[in-house]
């Protein structure tokens, strides 16, 4: 591989750097809230962007398709299904490019327009908020007759936008719980139905006021039926993991906080 080819590969890798989020958070100088949108029967809403940096910044907003794998990873879709194609076509958002002075918020309006005859179900895209770097001059140096380049990574925040039409149901169960060698507890989840789930997993033990292990932002999207989640044990918990525990998968408080699934287990 030539030097120019290596350079172009490095630039492409940096420019494609994305950082997904699972809680109210940001990347670099951009804050996005909320970081998960659910539209029911076509109602609209807004996402708020906020530049917390010290310089003016410009961001581009785009929609992309991602699929969840059984280990919880979100991969880009190259061959969209009919449902994925419909999801991308029905979701509208504006503006698609914003320039924010420091401390200046901006609302992005989001709505869904279902085509006639759309089947009841859950449809999803991911909105990507990506910074647009300011143009900088190329620095020329007399080093071997070539030029030097400064590589600037371009980061993005990606959030799911979920649209639900009709009366959808889901049934989620916890099928197995076990310890690992990494001071963590693995939980196997199984989902059935026509909608996704989202919430936190907490593992409690008699005699402990706080959960001994907990993880938030756990989703099971409609493209998967099973997912294994590794739940880290609380850093200051020095007790044993063996013995009876209760595992609870619970909705986010903003969604009502209901128990999605629960399981009593005895760890070896």
Distance of CA 236 to the CA centre of its chain: 28
| Residue bearing tokens 């063996």 | 242
Are the beta carbons of 156 and 182 closer than 8 angstroms?
Answer: no
75 and 126 together in one domain: yes
47 and 176 together in one domain: no
DSSP classification of residue 133: P
Q: Is the model more confident about 134 or about 249?
A: 249
154 and 174 together in one domain: no
Are the beta carbons of 155 and 28 closer than 8 angstroms?
Answer: yes
User: Contacts by 250-257 with C-beta closer than 8 Å and gap 24+?
Assistant: 250/199, 250/200, 250/201, 250/202, 251/197, 251/198, 251/199, 252/198, 252/199, 252/200, 252/216, 254/34, 255/38, 255/198, 255/199
Is it the case that residue 155 has pLDDT exceeding 90?
Answer: no
pTM: 0.81
Is it the case that residue 13 has pLDDT exceeding 60?
Answer: no
Do the strands 213-220 and 197-204 form a parallel or antiparallel pair, or are they unpaired? antiparallel
121 and 196 together in one domain: no
176 and 161 together in one domain: no
Other C-beta atoms lying within 10 Å of the C-beta of residue 159: 19
Is it the case that residue 202 has pLDDT exceeding 80?
Answer: yes
155 and 186 together in one domain: no
Return the CATH number at 238: 2.60.40.10
Query: Domains in the chain: how many in total?
Result: 2
Tokens of 224: 């998967």
116 and 204 together in one domain: no
Are the beta carbons of 202 and 214 closer than 8 angstroms?
Answer: yes
Give the residue-averaged pLDDT of 232-244. Answer: 95
At 84 the pLDDT is 95
Q: What CA–CA distance (Å, rounded) separates 158 from 64?
A: 9
Are the beta carbons of 32 and 48 closer than 8 angstroms?
Answer: yes
Please write the tens of the pLDDT for every residue from 25-56.
344 688 999 999 999 876 799 999 999 888 89
Give the residue-averaged pLDDT of 186-205. Answer: 97
User: Which of 165, 183, 204 is the C-terminal boundary of a domain?
Assistant: 165
Please write the tens of the pLDDT for every residue from 48-81.
999 988 889 899 999 999 999 999 999 999 999 9
Q: Which residues pair with 97 in a beta bridge?
A: 60
User: Which of 148, 165, 182 is the C-terminal boundary of a domain?
Assistant: 165
Average pLDDT over the chain reads 85
Sorted by sequence, the CB contacts under 8 Å of residue 151 that are 6+ apart come out as 10, 11, 14
Sorted by sequence, the CB contacts under 8 Å of residue 254 that are 6+ apart come out as 34
Of all residues in the chain, the percent with pLDDT exceeding 90 is 69
Other C-beta atoms lying within 10 Å of the C-beta of residue 161: 21
Tokens of 268: 């070896």
Is it the case that residue 98 has pLDDT exceeding 60?
Answer: yes
User: Which of 141, 165, 189 is the C-terminal boundary of a domain?
Assistant: 165
Helix (H, G, I), strand (E, B) or coil at 239: coil
Is it the case that residue 117 has pLDDT exceeding 70?
Answer: yes
157 and 176 together in one domain: no
32 and 56 together in one domain: yes
At 14 the pLDDT is 30
At 149 the pLDDT is 57
Place 137 in a pLDDT band, splitting at 50, 70 and 90.
low
Domain boundaries, position 193:
170-267
At 151 the pLDDT is 56
Single out the residue of 163, 152, 103, 153 nearest to residue 127, CA to CA: 163
159 and 224 together in one domain: no
18 and 133 together in one domain: yes
Place 5 in a pLDDT band, splitting at 50, 70 and 90.
very low
Helix (H, G, I), strand (E, B) or coil at 267: strand
161 and 210 together in one domain: no
């Amino acid at each position: 591989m030539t030097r120019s080819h290596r350079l172009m590969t490095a630039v492409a890798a940096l420019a494609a750097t994305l950082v997904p989020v699972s809680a109210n958070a940001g990347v670099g100088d951009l804050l996005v809230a909320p970081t998960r949108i659910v539209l029911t029967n076509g109602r609209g809403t807004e996402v708020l962007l906020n530049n917390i940096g010290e310089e003016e910044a410009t961001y581009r907003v785009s929609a992309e398709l991602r699929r969840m794998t059984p280990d919880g990873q979100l991969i880009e879709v190259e061959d969209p299904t009919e449902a994925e194609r419909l999801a991308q076509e029905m979701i509208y958002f504006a503006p698609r490019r914003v320039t924010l002075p420091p401390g200046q918020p901006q609302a992005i309006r989001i709505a869904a327009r279902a085509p006639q005859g759309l089947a009841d179900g859950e449809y999803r895209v991911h909105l990507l908020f990506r910074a647009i770097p300011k143009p900088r001059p190329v620095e020329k140096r007399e080093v071997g007759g070539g030029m030097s380049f400064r590589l600037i990574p371009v980061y993005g925040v990606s959030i799911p936008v979920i649209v639900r039409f009709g009366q959808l149901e889901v049934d989620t169960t916890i099928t197995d719980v076990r310890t690992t060698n990494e001071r963590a507890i693995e939980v196997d989840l199984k989902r059935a139905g026509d909608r996704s789930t989202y919430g936190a997993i907490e593992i409690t033990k008699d005699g402990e006021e706080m959960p001994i292990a907990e993880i938030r932002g756990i989703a099971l999207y409609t493209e998967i039926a099973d997912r294994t989640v590794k739940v880290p044990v609380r850093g200051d918990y020095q007790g044993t993991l063996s013995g009876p525990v209760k595992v609870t998968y619970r909705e986010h408080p903003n969604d009502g906080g209901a128990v999605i699934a629960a399981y009593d287990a005895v760890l070896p």
